Amino acid sequence: MSRIQLALNVRDIDEAVDFYERLFHTPPAKRRPGYANFAVVDPPLKLVLIETGAARSHGIDAALNHLGIEVASPEEVVEATAALTGAGLSTVSEEGTECCYALQDKVWVDDPDGAPWEVYTVLADAPDARPGSAPRGEANACCAPASSVALTLGRTPSAP
């Protein structure tokens, strides 16, 4: 079996584990002090969390743009939105947005350290929707929601 491994530095391991358990609907495969890993079946992913005690610069490391889960249909984006908000996570939805050379439907959620995750589907090719150079949340930024997602664990999310 092949799968991608993604290792993230996190500020608070307990808060991060809680977030990723709810995002992927699975408990960690291994927990150690300052460390956790998840063997996510769908989508196939080995997610490693390493507690650093420091927040990421601007919510996300300079080498990381955003994280995503591609699904097959707009209906699956709607289902993901319902599941995320049902788990108490704040979301931002976008329908028919042009990003990364594609027309997409997507929903965004931020992890506890501000790393943006999108669940998205590609609706069509969009040859002119190039990645932008603007910082996340600013005009012309590609692959980022128009408004920043504020994640507060345990808070009832506002309507997307």
List b or e across 77-96, with b for residues whose CB sees 16 or more CB atoms inside 10 angstroms. Answer: bbebbebbbebebbbbbbee
CATH of the domain at 10: 3.10.180.10
Q: Are residues 75 and 122 in the same domain?
A: yes
pTM of the model: 0.67
Q: Are residues 38 and 81 in the same domain?
A: no
Contact assessment for residue 84 and residue 109, using Cβ atoms and an 8 Å cutoff: yes
- Is 104's pLDDT higher than 60? yes
Q: Are residues 43 and 97 in the same domain?
A: no
Task: Examine residue 59 and state whether it is found in any structural domain, yes or no.
Answer: no
More confidently predicted of 160 and 66: 66
Task: Decide the pairing of beta strands 4-10 and 45-51.
Answer: parallel
Task: Examine residue 106 and state whether it is found in any structural domain, yes or no.
Answer: yes
Of 32-46, 72-86, 117-131, the range with the lowest mean pLDDT is 117-131
Number of domains observed in the structure of the chain = 2
* Residues contacting residue 96 through CB under 8 Å, at least 6 positions apart: 103, 104, 105, 123
Q: Which domain holds residue 99?
A: 66-154
Q: Are residues 73 and 131 in the same domain?
A: yes
CATH of the domain at 75: 3.10.180
Per-state percent for the chain, helix, strand, coil, to nearest 5: 20, 35, 50
Q: What does the mean pLDDT of the chain come to?
A: 78
More confidently predicted of 59 and 105: 105
Task: Examine residue 124 and state whether it is found in any structural domain, yes or no.
Answer: yes
